[in-house]
Structure 1
Amino acid sequence: MTEYKNEDLILLNTKISPGESKTLNFSIAKLYTSTKIEIPVIVERAAVPGPTVLITAGIHGDEINGVEVVRQFIAKKMNRPKRGTIICIPILNIFGFLNAQREFPDGKDLNRKFPGTKHGSLASRVAYHFTKEIVPYADYCLDFHTGGASRFNAAQIRVQPNDTKLLELAKVFNPPFIVFSDLLKKSYRATCHDLNIPSLLFEGGKSLESDKQIAKHGVHGILRVLKHLDMLQDSFEVPTTETKSVLIEKSKWLRAQKSGLLHVKVPCHKHVVKGEFLATITDPYGTMRFKVLSPNDGYIINVNQSPIIYQGDAIFHISTENTTITETEQEDF
Structure 2
Amino acid sequence: MSRISDLIARARKGEVAPTARLLSIVENDEPEAAEVVRSTHGDTGHAKVIGITGPPGAGKSSLVAALLAGFRASYDRVAVVAVDPSSPFTGGAILGDRVRMRERFLDEGVYIRSMANRGNSGGLARATNRVVNILDALGFDIILVETVGVGQEEVEVVRIVDTVCLVTIPGAGDDIQAIKSGIIEIADILVVNKADRPGADRAVKDFAQMMTLGTPRLAWRIPIVKTSATENSGIDELIAAIEEHGVWAAESGDADRRDLEAIRNEVEALLRDRVLRQLAERTGNGRLDATVAKVAARRLDPYGAVDELLGSDPLVAADPAAPTDEGVDGRKGNAAA
Name the structure, 1 or 2, with higher relative contact order (CA <8 Å, separation 6+).
Answer: 2
Task: Please identify which structure carries the higher strand content.
Answer: 1
Task: Please say whether Structure 1 and Structure 2 have the same fold, judged by a TM-score greater than 0.5.
Answer: no
TM-score of the aligned structures, taking structure 1 as reference length: 0.30
Structure showing greater radius of gyration is 2
